[in-house]
Amino acid sequence: MRRHHLTIRIAVPLAAVLALSACSTPEVAETPRDSVSTAAPSVAAGDAGALLAAHGLVGKSGSEVVEALDRLDAQRPLPLAASVRYDEVLLSDGTIEASMPLDGDEFYLSIAPYETTTHECYFHNLGTCRGELAEADVKVTITTDSGEVLVDEDATTYANGFVGFWIPKDLAGVVVVTKDGKRAESRFSSDAEGPTCLTTLQLL
C-alpha cells in the first residue's frame, strides 16, 4: 500500500522551480532539490494541507496525485507543477515544493504519440507537458526485451495529449503505438535513470 508521506520546503530557489515548470530534461533533473536557503522557515503541516487542498489533492497518495493530474481535463499549464520520477512526484506551486513518494514496484510511464509536433521531455511534468494528439484513440503495446507483454490495449490520450501506464520497475523494452494505420515505436526503460515521459513516438 502506498503511504501518504509528504515533505514540504518553502522559498525554493528559482532553478528548482524552473525544473518543475516544464518538461524536464536530464540536465534540469540534476539540479539539487535540497539547495534551500537555511534562513527559510519550516512549513507547518497545516500549510501542507492547504497546498494540497487548493488543488483538490487532499487524502490522495502519490500515485493517485499522478493519475488525477495527468487525466485532468484542463488547459496546460496548470497552477501546480508535478514532475514524475522513479519513486516520487515533486510538486510545486512556485512558492512551496512537496515530495510525495511513489511506493511499490510500479513505474509511471506517460507517452505522447504525435504526427507532426512534439517536444523534448525526460521527466513527465503533469502540470505543463502537452502532446499534439489530445483525446485521440490509439492502440498501445509495451513489451519487455524478454518478450513479456506488459500492456496490450486500446487507449485514449488525455486532454494533455498523453496517456499513462503503470508498469513494473527495472525493465526495458519497446513501446508500440498505432493509430489509423500509422505506427510508432520507441524504447523505454523503467529503472531509476529511465524517463517517465516518452515523446519520440512519431506516427508514420
What is residue 6's predicted lDDT score, i.e. its pLDDT? Answer: 54
38 is in which domain, residue-wise? 7-101
User: Does 21 map to a domain?
Assistant: yes
User: Does 12 map to a domain?
Assistant: yes
The secondary structure of 39-71, three-state, reads CCCCCCHHHHHHHHHCCCCCCCCHHHHHHHHHC
Residue stretches of the chain with pLDDT short of 70: 1-51
Same domain for 90 and 125?
A: no
Same domain for 62 and 119?
A: no
- pTM recorded for the entire structure: 0.81
Same domain for 182 and 141?
A: yes
User: Where among 66, 84, 101 does a domain terminate?
Assistant: 101
Same domain for 119 and 91?
A: no
Q: Residue for cell digits 487524502?
A: 59
Same domain for 156 and 171?
A: yes
Q: What is the pLDDT of residues 138-184, one digit of tens each?
A: 999 999 999 999 999 999 999 999 999 999 999 999 999 999 999 99
